[in-house]
Amino acid sequence: MQVISSIQAIKQSIKALIKENRSTIGFVPTMGALHEGHLSLVRQAKKENDTVVVSIFVNPLQFGKHEDFTRYPRTFGNDCNLLSQEGVDIVFNPSATEMYPDGFCTSVIPESLEDKLCGKSRPGHFRGVAVAVLKFFNLIQPDIAYFGQKDFQQTVVIKRTVSDLNVGVTIKVLPTIRDQHGLALSSRNAYLSETEKTDALCLYTALTRAKTLANMGTTDTGEILREMEKIITRCTSATIDYIAIVNPETLETVPKVQNGDVVALAVRMGKTRLIDNVTLILMIAFSCLIL
């Protein structure tokens, strides 16, 4: 497994791969502190591509002034061991100054998507995400890039950016990986105390309740959200940032649930902000499909 930290070196390696006729490149962008969710993306990339590249880059552009950039978990040695075991070909681990040298001033603005959901409390976050991901796409030239459904809004932003700018990469979104109790795996779970980890299970309980209500034919958004809020507010560690039911492409909130809408939430457990989501399937719509 090659570990590369310079832009020049990654460009040379990719050029060599193309010259060798390594026909497909799969790419998994990460910020490190890898867990089973990341590894599930890597395994899918291995199944579908000749070469797999994983980036490990804690991107300063997607952190706000008072967010956790300096204390974000960094476990590079362990991450490389895990990726080597999975048969990854290249790990790209650039520094911030390598990615954003003096004078860097270009931004990518997903205008209709960046100020919704997480964007309301994290201004500029998705601009930072889009810039980094597009730089990686330009450097690595992947055929397929893999993302997890847990970062739902991020996947919507990246899909739209790729479509709008005619970037030649297929975006694949794979299911959220959860622990045995339903908590979505996240690098930030390491911040949680044992009490907060227990309380955090209320997120999945609330999302499951939303799915159940939709499956039973409930389409009133307000009713579903009120039921979810009841569950979450019972947890002493929890402070709701938002709960919303949105169109899966525009992220606009919907008054009435339609098949395929997404219920997304962000909740602080103590000082740790967690996100999660599920897609709502209406049993009525499913029944119609069967008929």
Q: What amino acid occupies position 234? A: R
Q: What amino acid occupies position 15? A: K
Place of tokens 């330009």: 138
Quick check: is 38 catalytic? Answer: yes
CA 190: distance to chain centroid? 17
Alpha helix segments (H runs only) across 145-282: 152-164, 194-199, 201-215, 221-233
- Of 38, 66, 125, 181, the catalytic one is 38
Q: Name the nearest CA neighbour of 139 among 7, 230, 27, 266.
A: 7
User: Longest Cα pair distance anywhere in the chain, in angstroms?
Assistant: 61
Give the burial string for 196-213 (b: 16+ CB within 10 Å, else e): bbebbebbbbbbebbbeb
Determine how many CB atoms are found less than 10 A away from the CB of residue 138: 11
Q: What SS3 class is residue 108? A: coil
**Pairwise CA distance, residues 221 & 256, whole Å:** 5
Written as six digits, the tokens of 82 are 């895990």
Residues marked as catalytic: 38
